Amino acid sequence: MTTDQKRFLDEWISFLKIPSVSADNAYKKDVEIAAQWVKDALKNAGCPQTEIIKTSGHPIVYGECLVDSNYPTVLVYGHYDVQPPDPIDLWESPPFEPVIKTTSLHPQGAVFARGACDDKGQVFMHIKALEVMLSQGPLKCNIKFMIEGEEEVGSDNLEDFVKANKEKLKCDIILISDTGMISQKQPSISTGLRGLSYMEVTITGPNRDLHSGLYGGSVANPINVLCEMISKLHDENQRVTIPGFYDRVEELSQEERLEMAKAPFDLNDFKSSIGITDIRGESGYNNEERRTIRPTLDVNGIWGGYTGEGAKTVIASKAQAKISMRLVPDQEWNEISELFTEHFKSLAPKGVTVDVIKHHGGYAYVTPTETIGYKAAHYAYLDTFGIAPIPSRGGGSIPIVPMFEKELGVKSILMGFGLDSDAIHSPNEHFGLFNFFKGIETIPRFYEHYISLFKKKTTEFN
């Protein structure tokens, strides 16, 4: 490691020590500290204009390196907030005390901490890439940074900020590192994100918890009912049964599906990497299609009744679940939330009441590969990995990305450097040193190619 690399690593580790959990109010101060940390880091990297923008939730960090209005402008987006670390017991080292360990996929070491990959590590790559570029001479493009603190909770305040600041955020392309790639040997560029509709349901039966001997057999047990209702949300082909759910789903052509199937994938590796003996999903689609181009419905959490030690004989008054649906183009997330609510309520037997609340949602996103932004990313990976990157549709969601397109009319380029095995949102999240340093090396190449393709495009049109 060079002395600069060592310093980058130390700085990154100090960033990861700040527990910037956006979902939990107990961490509100830490989220603010993390915002200040990002602002200072941008400033120290040489960004001349930096500010912290307060919102009714967590702050947005904004920075500008404006050089010349004739140059193209790149807006870098990322998030400094992280997912809650729980279940804490399953971490091998504390989530906010970063440690470096090697793994089979990261023989050069990886930093283990919440946010290591999603998204503090990847945001920090952009800050260090800026530092590297500035050390080599003046920028040949304008760069804007917008690093938010509420991505993991739905970006509600950022959405308002974007709508109110279209001029300030004006740019030619948005650059984001908040996704993954296929492997260290096979880079890929994310060409899609799924949308999301997140619901919470409550089944209420009797007005209090009951003795299951005295009442069992004569009342609808809310937990039994909830399980029964959930089991009806998929049919025997693992298709979602909500009427209208698939109506707007974009079907990929056979050609597109064959193209997708060219990406390296090993089913046995996939199974063993997550410790399952077999896969399961919608009939008629392969594993990779099921987790990227097809919509899904999953229970994320379910609770009710007695879960303490030993046994307690009880019929609970309530049972609850959190249910998310991953959506694809051209599903409308608000419409899907409505269809879910209607259908779910229709599944309830007599004797219980059903309440459904809508949490956040967002649209799916697809980026074409013919744009100069995509091409610049392609050549950047080719330069630093020596291998052409494969376009790859991803299964996760970043709801602000389709919003950028709608409000700013600008496409986002998703240059992610994480691996699926990095355990984002899980205990023992980590990010490889190889990936981190490759990111810092590849990002400046993106700017270089983008600037020259942009010039070529403008001279061709003139």
Residues involved in catalysis: 81, 151
* Both structure tokens of 240: 């979602």
- Residue 131 in the binding site for Mn ion (CB under 5 A): no
Contacts of 455 (CB under 8 A, 6+ apart): none
Radius of gyration of the chain (CA): 24
Q: CB of residue 23 vs Mn ion: minimum separation in angstroms?
A: 11
Q: CB of residue 173 vs ligand BES: minimum separation in angstroms?
A: 19
Instruction: Please identify, using beta-carbon distances, which residue of 11 and 159 lies nearer to ligand BES.
Output: 159
Q: CB of residue 192 vs ligand BES: minimum separation in angstroms?
A: 9
Are 232 and 347 in contact by the 8 Å Cβ rule? The answer is: yes
Q: Give which of 367, 325, 332, 363 is closest to 192, Cα–Cα.
A: 367
Q: Give which of 151, 145, 8 is closest to 65, Cα–Cα.
A: 145
The sign of the dihedral angle between the CA atoms of 103, 106, 110, 113 is negative
43-72 positions binding ligand BES, by CB under 6 A: none
Using the contact rule CB under 6 A, the part of the chain among 50-58, 176-184, 307-315, 426-434 near ligand BES is 176-184
- Residue 394 in the binding site for ligand BES (CB under 6 A): yes
Q: Which does 451 bind (CB under 5 to 8 A by kind): ligand BES, Mn ion, none?
A: none
| CA–CA dist 451, 73 (Å, integer) | 9
- Residue 422 in the binding site for Mn ion (CB under 5 A): no
Instruction: Please identify, using beta-carbon distances, which residue of 64 and 178 lies nearer to ligand BES.
Output: 178
| CA–CA dist 59, 64 (Å, integer) | 17
- Residue 81 in the binding site for ligand BES (CB under 6 A): no
- Residue 154 in the binding site for ligand BES (CB under 6 A): yes
Are 187 and 389 in contact by the 8 Å Cβ rule? The answer is: yes
Q: Give which of 123, 104, 181, 99 is closest to 418, Cα–Cα.
A: 181
- Residue 118 in the binding site for ligand BES (CB under 6 A): yes
| CA–CA dist 287, 320 (Å, integer) | 30
The sign of the dihedral angle between the CA atoms of 81, 412, 52, 155 is negative
| CA–CA dist 268, 278 (Å, integer) | 9
109-128 positions binding Mn ion, by CB under 5 A: 118-119
Count of residues interacting with Mn ion (CB under 5 A): 3
Instruction: Please identify, using beta-carbon distances, which residue of 142 and 188 lies nearer to ligand BES.
Output: 188
- Residue 420 in the binding site for Mn ion (CB under 5 A): no
Q: Which helix (H) or strand (E) holds 9?
A: helix 3-16
* Both structure tokens of 87: 């279940």
Please name the residue ranges forming H helices in 136-191: 156-164
Instruction: Please identify, using beta-carbon distances, which residue of 35 and 225 lies nearer to ligand BES.
Output: 35
Preceding omega of 330 cis (within 30 degrees of 0): yes
| CA–CA dist 248, 194 (Å, integer) | 14
- Residue 192 in the binding site for ligand BES (CB under 6 A): no
Q: CB of residue 80 vs Mn ion: minimum separation in angstroms?
A: 10
Q: Which does 397 bind (CB under 5 to 8 A by kind): Mn ion, ligand BES, none?
A: ligand BES
Binding track over 60-99 against Mn ion, x by CB under 5 A: ----------------------------------------
Q: How far apart are the first and last CA of the chain?
A: 46
- Residue 150 in the binding site for ligand BES (CB under 6 A): no
Kindly tell me the number of DSSP H helices and DSSP E strands found in the chain.
12, 18
Binding track over 172-211 against Mn ion, x by CB under 5 A: ------x---------------------------------
Q: CB of residue 412 vs ligand BES: minimum separation in angstroms?
A: 12
- Residue 296 in the binding site for ligand BES (CB under 6 A): no
- Residue 392 in the binding site for ligand BES (CB under 6 A): no
Instruction: Please identify, using beta-carbon distances, which residue of 143 and 400 lies nearer to Mn ion.
Output: 400
Using the contact rule CB under 6 A, the part of the chain among 9-17, 289-297, 377-385, 389-397 near ligand BES is 389-397
Contacts of 233 (CB under 8 A, 6+ apart): 240, 241, 242, 297, 323, 344
List of residues contacting ligand BES (CB under 6 A):
118-119, 151-152, 154, 178-180, 193, 196, 360, 394, 396-399
List of residues contacting Mn ion (CB under 5 A):
118-119, 178
